[in-house]
Amino acid sequence: MDELNKSTELHKVTSLNAFLPAETLRMLEKYEPDIPNDLAFEEHMTILFSDMRGFTELAEKFDPRDVYASINASLSIQTGIILKHHGSINKFLGDGLLACFSGAKRGENAMKCLLEVLKTLSEKEKESGLLPCKVGFSLHDGKVLLGLVGDKSRRELTVIGDVVNTAARLCGIAQPFQGLVTEESRKTMPEKLAKKHCRFLNAVHFKGKGEPMNIFYLELE
**pLDDT per position as a tens digit, 139-159:** 999 999 988 888 878 878 889
* Contact in structure between 162 and 141 (CB atoms under 8 Å): no
pLDDT tops 80 at residue 80: yes
> Position 149: which residue type?
V
* Contact in structure between 120 and 12 (CB atoms under 8 Å): no
- pLDDT interval class at 12 (50, 70, 90): very low
* CATH number of the structural domain 37-218: 3.30.70.1230
CA distances from 46 to 111, 181, 189, 209 (A): 10, 10, 10, 19
pLDDT at 37: 73
Angle between helices 64-84 and 106-127 (to 10 degrees): 140
Instruction: Tell me the average pLDDT across 34-58.
Output: 86
* Contact in structure between 99 and 87 (CB atoms under 8 Å): yes
> What's the CA dihedral at 192, 194, 198, 200 to 10 degrees?
-100
pLDDT tops 90 at residue 46: yes
pLDDT at 88: 92
Percent of the chain with pLDDT over 70: 84
Give the domain ranges of the chain: 1-35, 37-218
Q: Is 214 exposed, middle or buried (0-12, 13-18, 19+ CB in 10 A)?
A: middle
pLDDT at 133: 84
pLDDT in tens, 170-209: 999 999 999 999 999 999 999 999 999 999 999 999 888 8
pLDDT tops 50 at residue 13: no
pLDDT tops 60 at residue 5: no
